[in-house]
Structure 1
Amino acid sequence: MIKLLVVDDSALMRRLLAEVFSRDEGFELAVARDGHEALERMVGFRPDVITLDVNMPGMNGLETLDQIMLLQPCPVVMLSSLTRHGADETLEALALGAVDFIAKPTGALSMQMETFAPALMATVRAAATARIRRTHRLAERVRLKTRASVPAVTGPDLAPRPARSVASVGEIPGLVVIGASTGGPPALDAVLGGLGADLPWPVVVAQHMPASFTGSLARRLDGLCPLRVIEAATPLRLEPGTVYIARGDADMIIGRRKGGLSAMPAPQSDRFRWHPSVDRLMDSAMEALPAGRLAGVLLTGMGNDGARAMAALKAAGGWTIAESEETAVVWGMPGELVKAGGASVVADIGEVAAHLVTAVAER
């Protein structure tokens, strides 16, 4: 039985969410109208997971989340609007300790709940299994740890060096492919924040997220990380020292344009369940570059996206790393890679950047 606390200032949304979860005997439900009532209800109810509206009067969602994480840490799923402001606030919530988010339906809520409900149910069930104690304030703690451990390998070792078997002048020497889902934004902050600005390989990232959120994610990471971070909403030529975030609600593929390799948005393919697809991104990278010039990183996330393709990369002679079960919010994606024997290294999130820097320098 999952004890769920629904926190929303809208009486209609509370009623609709209560109807959704009351249909499933696996949930015990409580509701709260605002942040203050939520903190009071938590004391006696002790929820396993909370859904929390981002925008509430009085104590807003971020303030409520901050108090939850300080007083009684619990897995929290944020309910957010599909606006840039809503995206910015949601990413801040993930940095504060929320394990995931789901975008509220737009328009007539009651008419869209049937399509919204399955995704909400799956997200809440996954959140109930999250390792909240180890991931609370993850980005802040891990950034300090990575930056303390990386200097020994980020000096001259990261200076651009002649690439092996480069096909043409100006072609990138190699490529890093990162995949993430649930819990991914703080994990990306930790990994990218531990890489030097002079990393000789470009980095491409597939983070499961709606299109209205990936631009905000790129802007946020660009302000936090030494590397340049941009959203690949249009075809962009791959350049060292740059991170390309796949646009949400679509896929990203690597292809050759005008003599160089580019990150290119592509419509969702029905062959892949999650989007932006990590498997599809890695498949395209392996078609564009030899396995020895690729590195794959699979971080926290629900499901198995990326595990097949990264296992194939390792089998072909490439290098891969899976986030450890001890630090992953949800050990689905990296766990599947480990189970498939496809991880060259398994490491805590605070160690991923250092392993990646060393692998790039050695290849």
Structure 2
Amino acid sequence: MKKIRVIVVDDSALMRKIISDMINSEDDMEVVDIAKNGQELLNKISNSTPQVITLDVEMPIMDGMTALKELKRSYKNIPVIMLSSISQKGTQLTMECLESGAFDFIPKPSGAISLDINKVKDELVQKIRIACDKNITSDAIKEGKPQMPMERTYQRNYISKLKNDKIESVVIGASTGGPKALYTVITALPANLGVPVFVVQHMPVGFTKAFADRLNANSDIKVVEASENMPVERNVVYIAPGGYHMEIGLDKKIHLNLEPAIWGVRPAVDKLFISASKVYGSRIVSAVLTGMGKDGAQGTVEIKKHGGITLSEDKSTCTIYGMPKAAFETGMVDAVLPLEEIAIQIIKLVSGGGR
């Protein structure tokens, strides 16, 4: 069996050893090289021909952010998984890395030197497998002719036939690849959109504040990390905090809870979508963006049952075509759109011009 070839980059010799041992313990992957900083990685990569790279965010000589930018110039098809400590600097740099093309990230549970990093072993090896599969798929697509899903034009035409209820809210869900996708969508929304926007991005505790702050700094519309009992206002984007389900109450306030994870995640897109459908009925637009799994599919069904408008991201622009596919396969999605058209369609629907 061919093994997935991985390079591990971390400035700590102990962390390189622990991470390498975790990867090598899997039958389908192997560490083919290690590096203690970004510069050493760039010096070694041509001889190691890795399929996936795990890259520490904070390192001396050349940090993960700088190394990632260099990698994307010459080795843009090699997926990179960032490993980040949950510090103010670490979380901010991680958000920049995701915007700059990192495939995903894994939090170090206890800081730069995490002796308990085995806690995230299952998540790490799963993401390595998915990143490798995605890379192979992307290369195969590039060699052939791009496929335009047949449902896209048909479903888009369907939107014009929907009833003219005024839209009062937008809900969006995303997972793997979501930070970059959401950056594309949110930064394209106007300051005076006219409705609140609620977002669930699968992200661990400690990172959503930095994510919201970065979106806010680069968007016309206001973006905040949601908190318990926060009143819902128009022209604000609310990001669900890591570790909490976010629901919209009939009192038009945000409510957070620690109920069990759904599909292995908390916050869950389904929790948000289902609660919002009960509050806004047919006056809502939902969008399911890139991500693995099927979170958001059940919520899409509920929104459609209440008469809302449902969108999903087209496979051609997804990092992972899992969640959007699951949503589409419910038969309840009104439009399948490439990422760059999601914000355009949201604006049209909210303004009444997309029906």
TM-score normalised by L of structure 1: 0.84
CA offsets per residue over residues 92-127 of structure 1, 9 Å max, x none? 0011110111101217844x2442211111222222
- Pick from 51, 54, 60: which aligns with 1:51? 54
1:25 aligns to what? 27
2:324 aligned with 1:334: yes
Q: CA deviation at 1:35?
A: 1.1
Structure 1 residues 277 and 334, CA gap change in structure 2 (3 angstroms): same
Contact 1:131 1:330 (C-alpha < 8 Å) held by counterparts = no
1:63 aligns to what? 66
Alignment of 1:96-245 (within 5 A): 96-106=100-110, 109-110=114-115, 112-130=116-134, 174-245=168-239
Structure 1 residues 335 and 220, CA gap change in structure 2 (3 angstroms): same
Structure 1 residues 133 and 215, CA gap change in structure 2 (3 angstroms): farther
Moved more, 353-362 or 84-93: 353-362
Q: Percent identity?
A: 37
Contact 1:272 1:280 (C-alpha < 8 Å) held by counterparts = no
Instruction: Please give the alpha-carbon distance, in whole angstroms, between the structure 1 residues aligned to 2:332 and 2:134.
Output: 23
Instruction: Please give the alpha-carbon distance, in whole angstroms, between the structure 2 residues aligned to 1:196 and 1:252.
Output: 24
Partner-residue secondary structure (3-state), 2:106: strand
Instruction: Please give the alpha-carbon distance, in whole angstroms, between the structure 2 residues aligned to 1:29 and 1:101.
Output: 18
1:285 aligns to what? 276
Instruction: Please give the alpha-carbon distance, in whole angstroms, between the structure 1 residues aligned to 2:61 and 2:133.
Output: 30
Instruction: Please give the alpha-carbon distance, in whole angstroms, between the structure 2 residues aligned to 1:131 and 1:227.
Output: 34
Contact 1:131 1:328 (C-alpha < 8 Å) held by counterparts = no
CA offsets per residue over residues 159-205 of structure 1, 9 Å max, x none? xxxx969xxxxxxx611110011111111111112211111211000
Structure 1 residues 341 and 301, CA gap change in structure 2 (3 angstroms): same
Instruction: Please give the alpha-carbon distance, in whole angstroms, between the structure 1 residues aligned to 2:309 and 2:25.
Output: 46
Q: CA deviation at 1:132?
A: 9.8
Partner-residue secondary structure (3-state), 1:340: coil
Contact 1:99 1:130 (C-alpha < 8 Å) held by counterparts = no
Moved more, 345-354 or 29-38: 29-38
Moved more, 202-211 or 34-43: 34-43
2:342 aligns to what? 352
What is the identity, as a one-letter code, of the residue corresponding to 1:130?
A: K
Instruction: Please give the alpha-carbon distance, in whole angstroms, between the structure 2 residues aligned to 1:21 and 1:256.
Output: 47
Number of equivalenced pairs: 323
CA offsets per residue over residues 38-93 of structure 1, 9 Å max, x none? 11222122211110000111011111111000111111110000112110000000
Partner-residue secondary structure (3-state), 2:340: helix
Instruction: Please give the alpha-carbon distance, in whole angstroms, between the structure 2 residues aligned to 1:238 and 1:329.
Output: 31
Contact 2:261 2:267 (C-alpha < 8 Å) held by counterparts = no
Contact 2:106 2:120 (C-alpha < 8 Å) held by counterparts = no
Contact 1:132 1:329 (C-alpha < 8 Å) held by counterparts = no
- Unaligned runs of 5+ residues in structure 2 are 139-163
Partner-residue secondary structure (3-state), 2:110: coil
What is the identity, as a one-letter code, of the residue corresponding to 2:37?
A: D
Q: CA deviation at 1:275?
A: 1.7
Partner-residue secondary structure (3-state), 1:129: helix
- Unaligned runs of 5+ residues in structure 1 are 135-162, 166-172
